[in-house]
Structure 1
């Protein structure tokens, strides 16, 4: 990977890391969408890098705040994630060989729909959703995580509806993304899908990810949570549209 690819790729990851740290979501969708739209790297390569980045981001972001997690909901959601994660990986391996345009179109639709879904911002529920809802959401998130390393849309929509503190919601999302990313890396490794280039680039990104995660925790933007979310939604919708147009 030459400097003309490496530098913009790292810049995209830096920006997405900061956004995820202050909102609890969007890293995978921003990185996958932007990298694919600019044709910087294949989807399979990018998804492994995203998993590594999300893993480091989650560890740094959750450090010191573990007691504020809703561990029950995190565990229940992860029950649904792992079987679907494997199914998504198998489908990605099949599609990435011969259906690049179809894969890009599916990615674009997913990001666009995810942006719209999260933007709905429904009113919080009076009481937490049943456990089965978290499992089903985990299945949907696991499939997207397996395909594109971006479990965000179904989880963000569900957790932002719960009558939890905003910080608890953000930390739960970061923790689930961390766990699913670790599981994805292990599964890809067993499939023999990890290359030296993937691991090298992921290692290069670690110091930068740790730095921008710290920046996000220490210096959040001078925007309200609502406006920050709106910015992320608009960005995702634009990325999704560009991918769909490119695929067609």
Structure 2
């Protein structure tokens, strides 16, 4: 990338880091969407970069907050995420382009519908869901990550529907995405797919990520719990819409 593109990318990562710290998600999805839309860099390179900067975000966001985490929910979701990422990659390899496009269209429609229905009824559930439902959300998130590089929607929907405090939701999601990112980084390093250029870009972005994360911790926007939940579900709708749009474009080619 040119120096100008690197600068734009770092500014974008800084904004997305602030957003992720106040909601628990969004860093990878915002940057991946913007970079692919504006053609700043190859998607595969950005995915690896996002895994590295997500670790920097979690390192600045989680200290002193671990006591807010529902460890049973996070553990169940993580057990579902890690193996299903591999399954998603293998399934995508065996699907034809048209079949993968149809599946992406269906998944995008489900995410869009889930975000819309939740936005209309943003109040949390009366009781916490059982551990099995967290595991299932992790499996669905892992499959989406392996097939389309978008692991967030099932996990976001699951946690934001729980009768938990927002800080508990944020910390849980940040931790899960950090574990997923660490797994991807280690796998990329083992496969020798972690180029020095990506490491350099991550090193340049890391101070900005940590600065914006600390800023979000100390100066969050004045949003109520209800407004934050609506914001989360609105982003889910945008993600679902983008999945549908990309699938339709691929199918009509």
TM-score by length of 2: 0.81
Classify 1:81/1:236 alpha carbon distance in 2 versus 1 (closer, same or farther; 3 Å). closer
- Structure 1 position 230, deviation (Å): 4.6
Classify 1:196/1:115 alpha carbon distance in 2 versus 1 (closer, same or farther; 3 Å). farther
Classify 1:224/1:128 alpha carbon distance in 2 versus 1 (closer, same or farther; 3 Å). closer
Partner residue, 2:192: 192
Partner residue, 1:172: 172
Q: Distance in 1 between matches of 2:228 and 2:11?
A: 19
Q: Is the 8 A contact 2:84 2:142 kept in 1?
A: yes
Comparing 108-117 with 123-132, greater Cα deviation is found at 108-117
Q: Is the 8 A contact 2:115 2:234 kept in 1?
A: no
Classify 1:167/1:238 alpha carbon distance in 2 versus 1 (closer, same or farther; 3 Å). closer
Q: Distance in 2 between matches of 1:91 and 1:42?
A: 23
Classify 1:33/1:102 alpha carbon distance in 2 versus 1 (closer, same or farther; 3 Å). farther
Give CA-to-partner distance per residue, 1:89-131, whole Å, 9 cap, x none: 4567x59xx97x9999988986786465335334422222222
Gaps of 5+ in 1: none
Partner residue, 1:79: 79
Classify 1:244/1:37 alpha carbon distance in 2 versus 1 (closer, same or farther; 3 Å). farther
- Matching of residues 51-90 of structure 1 within 5 Å: 51-90=51-90
Q: Distance in 2 between matches of 1:192 and 1:167?
A: 37
> 1:181 aligned to 2:181?
yes
- RMSD between aligned residues: 3.1
Partner residue, 1:21: 21
Give CA-to-partner distance per residue, 1:132-191, whole Å, 9 cap, x none: 211111111122333455421000101111122221111111111111111111122223
Classify 1:185/1:71 alpha carbon distance in 2 versus 1 (closer, same or farther; 3 Å). same
Aligned match of 2:117 in 115, 120, 142? 120
Q: Distance in 1 between matches of 2:15 and 2:104?
A: 20
Classify 1:143/1:89 alpha carbon distance in 2 versus 1 (closer, same or farther; 3 Å). same
Q: Is the 8 A contact 2:126 2:163 kept in 1?
A: yes
Partner residue, 1:159: 159
> 1:222 aligned to 2:219?
no
The count of residues paired between Structure 1 and Structure 2 equals 244
- Structure 1 position 32, deviation (Å): 0.9
State the SS of the aligned residue for 2:220.
coil
* Structure number with bigger Rg: 2
State the SS of the aligned residue for 2:221.
coil
- Structure 1 position 39, deviation (Å): 1.0
Q: Distance in 1 between matches of 2:196 and 2:102?
A: 28
Q: Is the 8 A contact 1:26 1:232 kept in 2?
A: no
Gaps of 5+ in 2: none
Classify 1:138/1:235 alpha carbon distance in 2 versus 1 (closer, same or farther; 3 Å). closer
> 1:8 aligned to 2:1?
no
Give CA-to-partner distance per residue, 1:180-210, whole Å, 9 cap, x none: 1111111222233222222221121111100
- Structure 1 position 76, deviation (Å): 0.9
